[in-house]
Amino acid sequence: MKGQTALEYLITYGWAILVILVVLAVLWYYGVFNPAKWSGESVSEGSALKVVDKQLTGTTLLLLFGDKTGSQVTISAVAVTGDIVGSTATGVPAIIPAGGQIASTSPITVTGLTPATTAGSFYKFTVTTTYQTTGGLPNQKDVASYNIKAV
């Protein structure tokens, strides 16, 4: 009789643990434990350039940069690493006037991002921009980190 009681006790707790594991697996599958989903969009900018606007769609990232140095900046290359990767940038070289920004009609466009993004999902990535300020050294690097939602 004691053996039957112990077995029923273990089976009951076994089923309870199994149900808890299934619930946790479903929550994990739907991204409930993904902190990027709850933190919203964020940007950690570099020292020379500021991000005026950005948009992530499919395999394309649009970026509008502004100047934080107080002198004219010429952007010569843009590369993306992290959850998405890409280095084919159009709109470079781009010239940002002192204290100004790139015209909204001609953003820097990084195409061919891999993997393709899914609308509504968050992606964390780093953009490395190669630039030169007027009278400054060539091939300076500015690194900005992003956590943004694809549209």
Does 19 lie in the same domain as 61? Answer: no
Residue 45 and residue 50: Cα distance in Å, rounded?
6
pLDDT (0 to 100) of residue 121: 86
Does 53 lie in the same domain as 28? Answer: no
pLDDT (0 to 100) of residue 41: 67
**pTM (predicted TM-score):** 0.72
Query: Which range marks the domain in which residue 19 is found?
Result: 1-33
pLDDT (0 to 100) of residue 37: 64
Residue 147 and residue 51: Cα distance in Å, rounded?
13
Instruction: Cis check for the bond before 35: say yes or no (omega within 30 of 0).
Output: no
pLDDT beneath 70, residues of the chain: 36-41
Does 16 lie in the same domain as 80? Answer: no
